[in-house]
Amino acid sequence: MMKQIQLLILLFVCGGTIQISAQKKKPLNVVWLSAEDMGPILGVYGNPVIKTPNLDKLAAEGVRYTHAYSTVGVCAPSRFSIITGMYATRLGAQNMRTGDYHNYKTPEEVKHNTYIGVRDKTGRNVPEYEVVPPSNVHCFTETLRREGYYCANNFKCDYQFNAPFTAWDEVSSTVSYRDCPKDKPFFYVRNFMVTHESRIWMRKDEPLTVQPEDVIVPDYFADIPEVRNDIARKYSNIEEMDRQVGELLKELEEDNLLDNTIIVFWSDHGGNLLRQKRAVGNSGLNVPLIVRYPDKKRAGTVDDRIVSLMDLGPTMLSLLNIKPAEHYDGKAFSGTYEQTPRNFAFGSADRFDEVTDMQRSVLDGRYVYIKNFLPHLPLIYRNKYREQITMNAKLIAMDRNKELSGDAAYIFMDTKPNEELYDLKNDPYEVHNLANNPNHAERMTNFRKALANWQLEIGDKGFIPEHDLIQLFWPEFLQPVTSEVIFKNEKRGKIVLESTTEGASIGYQLDKEIGSKHWNLYHSPIKLTKNQKIAARAIRIGFKASKITSK
Q: How far is it, in rounded angstroms, from Cα 521 to Cα 194?
A: 32
Buried b (16+ CB within 10 A) or exposed e, 431-466: bebbbeeeebeebbebbeebbeebbeebebbbebbb
Q: How far is it, in rounded angstroms, from Cα 535 to Cα 551?
A: 6
Helix and strand tally (H, E) in the chain? 13, 19
Q: How far is it, in rounded angstroms, from Cα 421 to Cα 244?
A: 38
Angle at 41 between CA 39 and CA 44, to 5 degrees: 130
Q: Is the peptide bond prior to 346 cis by the omega test (within 30 degrees of 0)? A: no
Residues 14, 75, 139, 157: which is the catalytic one? 75
Strand partners, 125: 119
Q: How far is it, in rounded angstroms, from Cα 526 to Cα 522?
A: 8
Q: Of all residues in the chain, what percent are helix, strand and coil, respectively (each to 5)?
A: 30, 20, 50
Q: Which amino acid is at 365?
A: G
The count of C-alpha atoms lying within 13 angstroms of the C-alpha of 1, restricted to the half-sphere facing its C-beta, is 0
Mapped onto helix, strand or coil, the DSSP state of residue 438 is: helix
Contacts of 490-499 with CB under 8 Å at 24 or more apart are: 490/525, 492/527, 493/527, 493/528, 494/525, 494/526, 494/527, 494/528, 495/525, 495/526, 495/527, 495/528, 495/534, 495/551, 496/525, 497/522, 497/526, 497/536, 499/538, 499/546
H helix or E strand, kind and range, residue 287 = strand 286-292
Q: How far is it, in rounded angstroms, from Cα 268 to Cα 34?
A: 7
Q: Are 134 and 503 in contact, with CB atoms under 8 Å apart?
A: yes
Q: How far is it, in rounded angstroms, from Cα 550 to Cα 515?
A: 11
139 has catalytic annotation: no
Q: How far is it, in rounded angstroms, from Cα 205 to Cα 307?
A: 37
Q: Closest by alpha carbon to 301, among 33, 41, 65?
A: 65
| Residues listed for the chain | 551
Which residues are catalytic, by number?
75
